[in-house]
Chain A
Amino acid sequence: MVQVKDLHWKKDMRVSELVDSYENVGFQSVELHRASEVIVKMKKDSAKVFLTFTSNMVTSGLRGFFAQLIELGIADVLVTTVGGLEEDIMKATGEVFSIGTFNTDDVELHERGINRVGNLLIQNQSYMNFEDMITDILRKLHAKQKRWSVSEMLREIGLLLDDTNSILYQAAKHDVPLFCPAITDGAFGFHLYLFQQENPDFIVDVVQDFGNILLTTSYDDRKGVIALGGSISKHHAILATLLNGGAEYAVYMTTAHRTSGSMSGANTSEAKSWGKVKDESDIATVIGDVSITFPMAMTHALDELYEEGLLNIENK
């Protein structure tokens, strides 16, 4: 039985040392440490890793971290929501988001053309710039071919970007498929609709992409899911693993609670009842703000994987 041990600060303490000590602290710190260990396990066990995140995380500074993780070879499959893709493109083309507060006059923000995501602020102008640009991108895609699966389209867009902090860019560069099953649920979707009105032969095929995500893995592969936040991005990944026999490893990080019965709050144990993760899987569920918990758990995991030469760090 592992005992509770008192946490002590050390001068110049590294993140990894802190997370190591979390193993003996209690409550969510134990789960955070466990989450990190499960991530290490899934990589060491050569599992196909499905990394899912919601758009608000791309609004935040986690965007560059996700891009770096793709570059380091952590993720084999990505699933997200469309807002994150829009914002990734915006940032890749120079848009800058600001940090405000959670408590603010939202009516005033609206009057000033500013949109709030928690304590982050996005100017309407950024969306307008995005809209100007996306139509050109869609014209290029349309000229190349008429029918696109979502992941093929996102790869093509990634190849047009030039920003190492971009998720789309790194995914395209490293041939990591990026799925967005609810592609119409945002400004991007609205422009797809408008473009299709003018070009009825332009089809973005969501159903075909369902087949693509299923074929990213098979019963032969061990599978791991790192689900940050909930919603369709989380569900789409674990549905793909379910249809390929279930995941051997699962880490969920969320602020949602299981008591709501929602996908977002469903923990790894509930997923077992569906066969989404295997009965014998290694799991961890961390309840807390992903902008805090994920970088800590992941940094601890990256340090161990780096030490053992298991990161893709060529050309660095």
Chain B
Amino acid sequence: MTVPEPKFILSKKVIMQQYGLVEDIADIVSYSSKTNPKVTSVLEEMTNCLFSVHMENELKHIDDLSRTVFLAQGWSSAQAKDLYDRGIRNFILDNEHDLDVLLTTLKDTNHRVNLMLRLKLRENSIRTERYFVFGMPSATINRHIGELVDSPNIGKLGIHFHRKTQNVSEWKLQRDIEDVITPETLDAIDILNIGGGLPSVYANSNADVIGGIFKRITDFRKWLHERDISLMVEPGRYIAAPAGKLVTRVMAVYEDNVIVNASVYNSDMDAILVPVKLRVENEVSSHEGEAYVIKGCTPCSMDLFRYRVYLENRPQIGDPITFINAGAYNFRSDFCDLEEIITEITD
């Protein structure tokens, strides 16, 4: 039997609900567009938020580029000039080389940009010992802020630091900043930007922590306001994830295995990379149902949505299996030539 194609359903209503929650705790919201560019269009139409963008290719999702915060890395003077000419005025720079490029480009012009320097903030994780961590050491930031504060080419000046995505513990923001940023630097900046997103709810995450994180952000904002500094946050997942569902159909059932007509490779690469585990709509507790492995449609052993999902009734071919909180980082690869799954935007 043939079954309907899988699809994503993205709710504008939930996007706006989530956006509203973030708007309440921040002075500036900049949606991290890479999380789900389809959400970018909705937010551009319905809010006045900014959009954090890393790659030029992503700019096609934004009509008004003056709302872009561009996180440059390894750029050239020509690229910097081009982005400026296209209307981008907000930049985040990751290293001194990129900063030199910008300052050289702006020199002897009357151009004016808002600039944030990216701070390499210590994270208590092996993760950051293994991989290159973006940003400049605090001593470099402190020095450059002092030099930039009177520059005629710089409007608003700030610091960006990137929190580990889905990091649910390291939110002692005030302590972290006080440890490394001098009082003189705090006096000089206008904006402090928390990158790295806010968590969302998955089968293997703890929703109870979100209240604590919001409280810490609120306390941090109060502390910043006492220093005339605005707080910018870059939620991606927190807005996009709950707004999206992935609706698949059961292709086959054998023993305790359920094969659906989608793959983590074309809908939920996050399951491999982070890995987050999407909850299934109507899944029940271990006392109420039978355990099933839900597998994607490719031959790859990594193509697993969940190892143990408890379902009340044994799925049948053609039944829908809907994954909730599936709106973030649902990017795809070209593995097995899998087709892109369409997204239906609803009100």
Please give, as numbers and ranges, the residues of chain B lying within 8 Å of A43 by CB-CB distance.
206
Q: Which residue of A lies closest to B216 (CB)?
A: A308
Residues B208 and A309 in contact, CB atoms below 8 Å apart: yes
Q: How far is the CB of A66 from chain B (nearest CB, A)?
A: 22
Given A45-B169, A222-B204, A2–B179 Cβ distance below 8 Å? Answer: yes
B107 lies within 8 A of chain A by Cβ: no
Which bucket holds chain B's interface residue count?
A: 20 to 34
Which residue on A lies nearest to B208, using beta carbons?
Answer: A310
Chain A minimum-CB-distance residue to B271? A220
Give the distance in Å from the alpha carbon of A219 to the alpha carbon of B127 in the complex. Answer: 19
> Whole-angstrom distance between the alpha carbons of A116 and B130 in the complex?
46
The one of A37, A221, A280, A308 in contact with B212, judged by C-beta atoms closer than 8 angstroms, is A308
Q: Is B223 an interface residue (CB 8 A)?
A: no
A307 to B219, CA, bound (A): 14
Question: Does B12 belong to the interface (CB within 8 Å)?
Answer: no
Inter-chain CA distance A220–B138, complex, in Å, is: 38
Question: Is B203 an interface residue, CB under 8 A from the partner?
Answer: yes
A33 and B105 CA atoms in complex are apart in Å by: 46
B residues less than 8 Å from A219 (CB atoms): 304, 307
Among A2, A44, A283, the most chain B Cβ lie within 10 Å of the Cβ of A44
Q: Considering the complex, which residues of chain B in the window 153-198 have a beta carbon less than 8 Å from any beta carbon of chain A?
A: 168-170, 179
Q: Which residues of B contact A279 (CB under 8 A)?
A: 126, 130
Determine the distance from Cα of A221 to Cα of B205 in the docked complex, in whole angstroms. 9
Contact among B126, B206, B211, B308 for A45, CB-based, below 8 A: B206
B332 at the interface (CB under 8 A from A): no
Q: Report if B122 contacts A (CB, 8 A).
A: yes
A46 interface contact, C-beta 8 A? yes
CA distance A38 to B168 in the complex (A): 11
- Inside 8 A of A44's CB, which chain B residues have their CB? 168-169, 206, 209, 212
Contacts of A41 in B (CB 8 A): 168-170
Task: Evaluate contact between A40 and B211: CB separation under 8 angstroms.
Answer: no
For this complex, into which size category does the number of interface residues on chain A fall?
20 to 34
A137 CB to closest chain B CB (Å) equals: 27
Cβ-defined contact, B205 with A45, below 8 A: yes
B306 touches A220 (CB 8 A): yes
- Collect the chain A residues with CB atoms within 8 Å of residue B215's CB: 308
B2 within 8 A of A: no
Q: Is B109 an interface residue (CB 8 A)?
A: no
In the complex, A97 Cα to B307 Cα: how many Å?
46
Write the chain A residue with the least CB distance to B209.
A44
- B249 proximal to A (CB < 8 A): no
B313: CB under 8 A from chain A? no
Residues of B within 8 A of A283 (CB): 126
A87: min CB distance to chain B, Å: 32
A selection of 28 A-B contacts at a CB cut-off of 8 Å is: A1-B122, A1-B138, A38-B124, A40-B169, A41-B168, A41-B169, A44-B168, A44-B169, A44-B209, A44-B212, A45-B168, A45-B205, A46-B204, A219-B307, A220-B203, A220-B204, A220-B307, A221-B204, A222-B204, A279-B126, A282-B124, A282-B125, A283-B126, A308-B212, A309-B208, A310-B208, A310-B209, A310-B212
Q: Which B residues are within 8 Å of any A CB, using their own CB?
A: 122, 124-127, 130, 137-138, 168-170, 179, 203-206, 208-209, 211-212, 215, 277, 304, 306-308
**10 shortest A-B CB distances, which residue pairs?**
A46-B206, A308-B212, A41-B169, A44-B168, A219-B307, A218-B308, A44-B209, A220-B307, A218-B307, A44-B169
